[in-house]
């Protein structure tokens, strides 16, 4: 989910003009440079998303007044973070006061971004956090609210609510030899009886406390900071170059009443799988059938819940997951 707070205008090292990048299983094609997609190295999939950016001085396109408001995400103080409106012919409008307006065609093949005067680190944050994952669902993929890495066993996904520590644990697994696959949103594609996780954007969002911890431990030195906002620091990652078969899914569950607790248990409740979808807005029969099929395939993998006390840090969680995957208790 998009974090609250208005991003500061801090984007370093803009790529050459034009962008060809494959993220979330989509081949994004844009004439404009997209700094938050720079460094994406995944192989093309053939699912094209043609993206255009409207210049600040150009008039914004018209949007039907009859469109339906389907999502209204608010900040803790009640102000609007972002909204999603839907219209059967026009498609979708995803917008926020700090993030500009983003128009998405009904089939997810075209996107039009109207940033206005907002800096790239602001409007592109909404692009990678909401617009591109929404387009992936329109193309027939499923998306989980999960971070993921690739080990020698396949993709390891980490699900859980915001601030559960998904990103921090994923980075700790990368320190142990795994390869970064996705942060916060994992696009899945079914192929027969297998599920493949697609590389996301080459960006990880770290809250400021975690960024300072990594800096103290000197595991943050080589990571380029591309944007900063009130809640997080966005850092460049070297990601996977191809989809990976999903091997395991872990739900992170923090238990404040049990200091020192750390245990794994099978996640048998199907509502956990259904509730882990990143997109609960699109509810067409085709999409819902795809969601159910993806959850059925997920249930055949290792799906476990991790109960962790408040004093268990990301390094300890990553070590416990690594032991678990190796068969140790």
Look-up of token digits 């690739």:
150
Shared-domain flag, residues 92 and 187: no
Expressed as residue numbers, the domain containing 264 is 143-202+237-325
pLDDT digits (tens, 9 = 90+) for 244-288: 999 999 999 876 656 667 899 999 788 889 999 999 999 999 999
Shared-domain flag, residues 45 and 183: no
> CB under 8 Å to 87, separation ≥6 — which residues?
63, 64, 66, 67, 68, 93
Shared-domain flag, residues 175 and 42: no
Which helix (H) or strand (E) segment holds residue 288: the answer is: helix 285-298
Which helix (H) or strand (E) segment holds residue 135: the answer is: helix 132-138
Shared-domain flag, residues 183 and 105: no
Shared-domain flag, residues 30 and 178: no
Structural domain contains residue 10: no
Shared-domain flag, residues 194 and 75: no
Look up the CATH number of the domain holding residue 287.
3.40.50
Shared-domain flag, residues 162 and 89: no
Structural domain contains residue 97: yes
CA-CA distances (angstroms) from residue 41 to 25, 142, 189, 272, 324?
Answer: 12, 21, 18, 32, 30
- Which pair of tokens denotes residue 303? 């799906």
Which of 86, 118, 139 finishes a domain? 139
**If we measure between CA atoms, which residue out of 108, 121, 126, 240 comes closest to residue 182?**
240
Which of 139, 168, 186 finishes a domain? 139
Shared-domain flag, residues 74 and 198: no
CA–CA distance, 83 with 73 (Å, rounded to integer): 6
Shared-domain flag, residues 117 and 182: no
Residuewise pLDDT in 10s, the chain (329 residues): 333 333 333 344 444 468 999 999 999 999 999 999 999 999 999 999 999 999 877 777 899 999 999 999 998 899 999 999 999 999 999 999 999 999 999 999 999 999 999 999 999 999 999 999 999 999 999 999 999 999 999 999 999 887 778 999 999 999 899 999 999 999 999 999 999 999 999 999 888 777 777 777 655 555 688 888 877 888 899 889 999 999 999 999 876 656 667 899 999 788 889 999 999 999 999 999 999 999 999 999 999 999 888 888 888 999 999 999 988 65
Strands (DSSP E) found in the chain: 19-23, 26-30, 48-53, 68-74, 80-87, 91-96, 100-104, 110-114, 142-144, 146-151, 154-159, 179-182, 186-191, 194-198, 203-207, 225-228, 232-236, 244-254, 262-266, 302-308
Shared-domain flag, residues 90 and 187: no
pLDDT digits (tens, 9 = 90+) for 223-246: 688 888 877 888 899 889 999 999
Which of 114, 139, 164 finishes a domain? 139
Shared-domain flag, residues 126 and 151: no
CA-CA distances (angstroms) from residue 17 to 31, 32, 38?
Answer: 7, 6, 11
How many domains does the structure of the chain reveal? 2
Shared-domain flag, residues 124 and 158: no
Structural domain contains residue 218: no
Residues 304 and 251 sit within 8 Å (Cβ to Cβ) = yes
* The model's pTM: 0.89
């Amino acid at each position: 989910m998009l974090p609250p707070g208005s991003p500061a205008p801090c984007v370093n090292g803009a790529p050459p003009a034009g962008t060809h990048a494959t993220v979330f299983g989509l081949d994004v094609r844009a004439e404009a440079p997209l700094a938050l997609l720079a460094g994406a190295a995944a192989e093309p999939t053939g699912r094209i998303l043609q993206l255009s950016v409207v210049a600040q001085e150009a008039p914004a396109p018209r949007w039907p007044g009859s469109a339906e408001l389907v999502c209204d995400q608010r900040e803790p103080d009640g102000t609007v973070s972002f909204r999603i409106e839907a219209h059967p012919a026009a498609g979708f409008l995803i917008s926020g006061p700090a993030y500009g307006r983003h128009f998405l065609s009904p089939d997810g093949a075209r996107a039009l971004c109207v940033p206005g005067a907002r800096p790239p680190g602001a409007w592109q944050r909404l692009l990678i956090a909401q617009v591109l994952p929404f387009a992936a669902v329109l193309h027939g993929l499923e998306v989980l609210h999960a971070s993921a890495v690739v080990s020698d066993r396949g993709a390891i996904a980490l699900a859980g609510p915001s601030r559960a520590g998904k990103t921090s644990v994923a980075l700790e697994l990368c320190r142990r030899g795994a390869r970064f696959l996705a942060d916060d949103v994992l696009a899945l594609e079914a192929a027969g009886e297998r599920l493949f996780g697609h590389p996301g954007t080459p960006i990880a969002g770290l809250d400021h406390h975690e960024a300072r911890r990594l800096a103290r431990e000197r595991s943050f030195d080589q990571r380029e900071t591309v944007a900063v906002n009130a809640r997080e620091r966005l850092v460049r990652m070297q990601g996977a170059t191809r989809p990976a078969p999903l091997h395991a899914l872990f739900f992170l569950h923090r238990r404040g009443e049990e200091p020192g607790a750390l245990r794994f248990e099978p996640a048998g409740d199907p509502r956990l799988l259904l509730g882990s979808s990143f997109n609960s807005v699109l509810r067409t029969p085709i999409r819902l059938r795809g969601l159910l099929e993806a959850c059925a395939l997920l249930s055949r993998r290792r799906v476990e819940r991790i109960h962790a006390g408040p004093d268990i840090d990301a390094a300890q969680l990553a070590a416990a997951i690594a032991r678990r995957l190796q068969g140790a208790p």
